[in-house]
Amino acid sequence: MKWLLLLGLVALSECIIYKVPLVRKKSLRHNLSKHGLLKDFLKKHNLNPAKKYFPQGEAPTLIHEQPLENYLDTEYFGTIGIGTPAQNFTVVFDTGSSNLWVPSVYCSSFACSDHNLFNPQDSSTYRATSKTVSITYGTGSMTGILGYDTVKVGGISDTNQIFGLSESEPGFFLYFAPFDGILGLAYPSISSSGATPVFDNIWNQGLVSQDLFSVYLSADDKSGSVVIFGGIDSSYYTGSLNWVPVSVEGYWQISVDSITMNGKTIACAEGCQAIVDTGTSLLTGPTSPIANIQSDIGASENLLGEMVVSCSAISSLPDIIFTINGVQYPLPPSAYILKSEDSCISGFEGMDVSTESGELWILGDVFIRQYFTVFDRANNQVGLAPVA
C-alpha cells in the first residue's frame, strides 16, 4: 500500500497568499450573551460573578472530546452527525485545510458509490445556498454546493454550520478512502468559497471555554486518538508545553530552526517553514534535502516506489532532531520508520511545495504521534510536548 496521504494541502492558489488580520477575540461571556445563551448558561451552572471569591465556586469548563479511529497509522478520522435527525459521516480532522464537506446524493462520481451520502431532504434544519465549492488536496479533489445545517461533533451541537455537499469526487483515491469526508481545522483564510470553518463557528457560538483545540494521535494502530475542543488534557503528555508562534495564519505554519542528525545539520540549515498537519500521513519536505535524509538512513526505492530500509538496521539508526523555537524535538527511528507486514518504510517523503515564505516542510502524523499538539487560535501559536 502507499503510505502517503496528503490531505492537508489545499490548492496553492488558496493558501499563503491570504493573511488573517489580528483581531481581539471575544470572551466566552460576550459570545454567550450575543447568542442569547448567557442567562440559561448561568442558571444551568448556578453561576454568578461573586462566586469567584468562594473556594467552592469554580468556573465551568466547556471542553469536548472527539474520539478518532487510527486506521493503520496512516489516517485518523471520527464520526460526526449532520442534519436533523443526524446523518452520520466519518471525516478526517484535518489541520491542513479549512472546509467541512461530505458526499451527497447529488454526487455521481464512482467515489460516492461506496460512502455515506447526505440527503438534504431528510433534514428538517437544512438550508440551501446558491454557492459552489471546489477543493483540491494533495491526493483527491471535490466540487459541490454549500449548505447550512446542524453539525454534531464531539458532543457539540454546532448550529447553522456551512458545509460542502459533494457533486463530484474525481479519481479513485476517495473511492478507496475509509472515510467519507473532511473536516478542516486550519484558518479561515484558506477556506474555499469563504466558508466559516467548524471550529470558528463553534467558538463564535460560545460552545467552548478556550479558543483552542488539541490533538493526540496514537501509534502502532492503537485506539485512544482524540481531538479536544476548547481545552488541554495534561494526561496525554509529559513535561511542559513549549509554545511556537504561528508564522503565517493560513495553515498552522511555524518556523523551524534546523534539522540535525548525529550533531550534523542535514536540512533547514538557515531555518525553514513547516506546517503542522494532521491530514498528512508522512513527514514531507523539499525533494533535495529529503533525498539526502533517505540516503543517510539507508533507504532505497523498491518496485512499488516506496523508500524502504532494512528492518534489522532500525536499532542502529540515530534520532533525527527538529529544533523549533530553540527547543529540540527528536524523532527516533521507531517513529520515522513505518513497519508494514513484510517491510520497513521510511516515513519521509520528498515533495516541493513553493510558497511566498519558501519551500514548505509538512510535519504530518509521523511527527504528531510523538508530540501532543495544541492549536491555539487565541494567541496564534502551537503548543508541543512529548506524548505520555
Answer yes or no: are the C-beta atoms of 222 and 76 closer than 8 Å. Answer: no
The SS3 of residue 313 is helix
Distance, CA of 287 to CA of 307 (rounded, Å)? 13
Distance, CA of 308 to CA of 63 (rounded, Å)? 41
- Please report which residue ranges of 150-236 form alpha helices under DSSP H: 173-176, 198-204
Active site residues: 94, 277
Residues in the chain: 388
* Residues near 133 by beta carbon (within 8 Å), at least 6 away in sequence: 99, 101, 142, 143, 144, 145, 146, 164, 192, 193, 195
Grid cell of 54 as nine digits: 468562594
DSSP labels, 99-159: -EEEEBTT--SGGGGGS--B-GGG-TT-EEEEEEEEEE-SS-EEEEEEEEEEEEETTEEEE
Grid cell of 288 as nine digits: 533535495
Q: How far is CA 192 from the centre of its chain?
A: 16
Cα–Cα distances in Å, from 228 out to 213, 216, 347, 366? 5, 8, 26, 20
